[in-house]
Amino acid sequence: MPRYKLTIEYDGTGLVGWQRQDNGLSVQAILEGAAQRLSGMAAALVAAGRTDAGVHATGQVAHLDLAKDFHPDRVRDGINFWLRGENAPVSVLAAEIVADDFHARFSAIGRRYLYRIVDRRPPPVLDLHRVLWVRRRMDADAMHRAAQVLVGRHDFSSFRASECQAASPVKTLDRLDVSRVGDEIQVIAWARSFLHHQVRNMVGTLRLVGEGKWTAADVARALAACDRSKGGPTAAAQGLYLTAVIYPDARTTPAEGAESRRQGAARAEWG
């Protein structure tokens, strides 16, 4: 029974997130339904990260085992065929056969997220539901300087959702970069793994800096408090994208470099 690694993109608008749930349609359910139609047998997918409702992906990774030995291109194209038939906002970008011990979640050594903020007076139209809209111009440079306070190994309890199931709040944040591209501010976070809502909570905190309400010192105090009530608000899910999952045998996923110019996704190398 071959194991396949899938690289996936999706628009999370209107979906309940990656994980199959009873209260709505999930990315997992959509893909498993298409895979079952392809193979004629039930298929279970395991993802590198269980993104929340409304969160998007340009480089999600999942694995599945199929009873039939298909060429990887047929797996990609066959699943996409059934996805198109359902008008699903999901696409398989690549499929490859991997070792039986490959695990989309536990084999990963790094993950990268992008958060997009449009800070201008006119509302976005083409990127509606795909960016956070802020009506006033923010200070991206100040946000970047404050973000460096969070880089490194810390107790991130102040940026952890109350329902987070991680065994420890201690994580190592490898990079947290903030840059401006026209009317868009991009926040890029790199780490082996993240706490639930960690990226959205960090972005919500950095927004306070961009608006002149907080300083880098305030961010440092919030981090040191190890208390969620001392951190900034949780940024909306619609601006968040899972853009890459890194594995020991490759520095980037097949989706790397395929992020559109319109989305303004960063093309930095894993460093």
Residue 13 vs residues 18, 62, 88, 114, 187: alpha-carbon distances, Å:
12, 20, 11, 16, 20
Q: Is 52 an annotated catalytic residue?
A: yes
Query: What letter would DSSP give residue 238?
Result: G
Q: Which is the catalytic residue, given 52, 139, 177, 183?
A: 52
What is the maximum alpha-carbon separation in the chain?
58
Give DSSP secondary structure letters for 133-179.
EESS---HHHHHHHHGGG-EEEE-GGGS-TT---S-SEEEEEEEEEE
Q: What angle do CA 33, 98, 106 make, to 5 degrees?
A: 80
Check residue 37 and report its DSSP letter. Answer: H
Helix (H) or strand (E) holding 76: helix 72-85
Residue 217 structure tokens: 């010192």
Q: Tokens 């303004």 sit at which residue?
A: 264
Catalytic residues: 52
